[in-house]
Amino acid sequence: MSLRYALLAILTAAPLTGYETAKRFEGSVGHVWHAPDSQIYPELRRMETEGLVQGREERWGPNSTKTRYYITAEGESAFRGWMSEPLRYAPWRDVAHMQAAYFEWTDPDSVRMHLQQHAQHYEEQIAQWSSQVQAIESHEHPMIAARLQRYPAEQHARIVAFKSFAYEGLIRLAQAEVDWANSGLALLEELEAQDAEGAG
Amino acid sequence: MSLRYALLAILTAAPLTGYETAKRFEGSVGHVWHAPDSQIYPELRRMETEGLVQGREERWGPNSTKTRYYITAEGESAFRGWMSEPLRYAPWRDVAHMQAAYFEWTDPDSVRMHLQQHAQHYEEQIAQWSSQVQAIESHEHPMIAARLQRYPAEQHARIVAFKSFAYEGLIRLAQAEVDWANSGLALLEELEAQDAEGAG
DNA sequence: TCACGCATGTAAATTGTTACATGATTGG
DNA sequence: CCAATCATGTAACAATTTACATGCGTGA
């Protein structure tokens, strides 16, 4: 169900074709929510039958058309409704931490590899999200630029502030993951030192 | 696929019936991984047909039996194989942060409510996970007690260390969520102060 | 004309959620 | 004997992933 609201969210900034939408889900919005095109096209059509968006045919070259989807008043109100409702927190599901709980089942080198990979993965995320924050705050971000054009100037500050805030939260999480992985590497060394002591 | 490895993981500590397994997924393991019984019973049977576990009928009262599942050598080796392989990191999907990015679509009171709820939710998680860490380190945790009995004393330190470590990672994440929510409440006050200034 | 990007899907499989359904055992 | 817990499922639906499939447009 959240895919639907993710779609409504980006369509509040600008009307998009299915293809453009899918691209957004690889790039900017894709940092917060991911969906493959095979899920996006049918969902947009379903949303059209429910009146949340309206698709308008556009010429594309001499022999083709493409469909651009516009959010409707009904769609905006559905989005607003979702925004004001409390979230239901889904039960936790975290493979990396589950796996870490059973690290005694693999050798120290493999544990090290896992933890290094974990740190690296989240460092990359931090880099990506940080560059998003920069692009948002400088208004260079294409979706932000499109959005600011659509909404009155007195709202610009909050629009930018909330988007930055969302990404900063993700950065905090990723940093916690990196710190955790590093503390795990330290723990590993400690355990190996103890083993050496016990053996020697 | 991870459900399967979660099941193998807890069966390395002790053989369990489907019911007991489901209970573990509500309680201790459920803090790291969740699954409803309707998913667990069929999965255990599927795993049996694949030779990863073996179900043995046990008397239960005068007229009934129950099935207790034992991990097989094949199951252990499958688990070990999974443990040594690098993780595939799933694309990010985070409703709370996605919603936060669009907070301008709802009123400040609703934003405050969301952020307070967020902080409260993760504070509860921290409390739960902290008590898990305590129970693990004191060996009072039933699964840990069962596990330590099954494995030689020289492994006890790492078994306990890794389980604590896993939970500590979750606590770090939850703390990052709480901090983020609180920084959001501060941001909200700032924005409201600015609005008041602009209006007055 | 050829490669790359734009555009739009279908199909199958897997995974997860929600609701319903049933009956035995055990302890008070 | 009654409630709580133990035990085991089915069915329907919803969401997601993966793989396959097709064809036009545009610029070099």
Q: A16 φ, ψ to 5°?
A: -140, 155
CB contact under 8 A, A166 and B100: yes
pLDDT digits (tens, 9 = 90+) for B126-185: 999 999 999 999 999 888 999 999 999 999 999 999 999 999 999 999 999 999 999 999
Mutation site for A-interface testing, chosen from B7, B32, B183 by largest number of A Cβ within 10 Å: B32
Res B200 pLDDT > 70:
no
* B82, two tokens: 């999974």
* B106, two tokens: 């709802």
Distance B122 CA to C25 C1' (A): 39
Tokens 């400088």 found at: A138
pLDDT digits (tens, 9 = 90+) for B47-88: 999 999 999 999 999 889 999 999 999 999 999 999 999 999
Mention every residue, 6+ apart, whose C-beta is less than 8 A from residue B42. none
Strand partners, B93: A33
CA quadruple B76, B80, B83, B85: dihedral, nearest 10: -130
CB-based burial, A78-116: b 16+ in 10 Å, e otherwise:
bbbebbeeeeeeeebebbbbbbbbbbbbbeeebbeebbe
- Positive or negative, the CA dihedral A88, A92, A96, A97 is positive
pLDDT digits (tens, 9 = 90+) for B64-73: 999 999 999 9
**Taking a contact as any Cβ pair under 8 Å apart, which residues of chain B between 33 and 92 contact chain A?**
33-34, 79-80, 82-84, 86-87, 89-92
Residues of B in contact with A191 (CB under 8 A): 157-158, 161
Rounded to whole angstroms, what are the CA distances from B105 to A76, B65, B101, B178? 9, 57, 10, 22
Question: Rounded CA gap, B92 and B97, in Å?
Answer: 11
- pLDDT band of residue B29 (cuts 50, 70, 90) is confident
CB contact under 8 A, B121 and A168: no
Question: Rounded CA gap, A197 and B123, in Å?
Answer: 39
The kind and range of the H/E element at B70 are strand B64-71
**pLDDT (average), residues B10-18:** 95
* B45, two tokens: 């049977």
Helices (H), A27-152: 37-49, 73-84, 95-100, 108-137, 142-150
The rounded mean pLDDT for chain B is: 94
B93 DSSP assignment: B
CB contact under 8 A, A93 and B33: yes
CB contact under 8 A, B162 and A9: no
Rounded to whole angstroms, what are the CA distances from B21 to A57, B25, B33, B152? 54, 6, 12, 24
- pLDDT band of residue B32 (cuts 50, 70, 90) is confident
User: Does B187 lie at the interface with A, CB-CB under 8 angstroms?
Assistant: yes
Per-residue pLDDT, B127: 94
The answer to whether B44 and B21 have CB atoms below 8 angstroms apart is yes
Residues of A in contact with B94 (CB under 8 A): 32-33, 170
Residues present in chain A in total: 200
CB contact under 8 A, B170 and A114: no
Per-residue pLDDT, A114: 97
| Torsion region of A61: left, alpha or beta (phi above 0 gives left; psi -120 to 50 gives alpha) | left
Rounded to whole angstroms, what are the CA distances from B173 to A2, A10, A46? 22, 28, 36
Block means of pLDDT (10 residues each) for chain A, length 200 residues? 92 95 85 89 94 94 92 97 93 91 96 98 94 94 91 95 97 98 97 82
* A107, two tokens: 């050798």
Tokens 């895919």 found at: A3
The answer to whether B11 and B71 have CB atoms below 8 angstroms apart is yes
**pLDDT (average), residues B82-100:** 92
Side chain identity, residue B73: A
Q: Is the CB of A88 under 7 A from strand D?
A: no
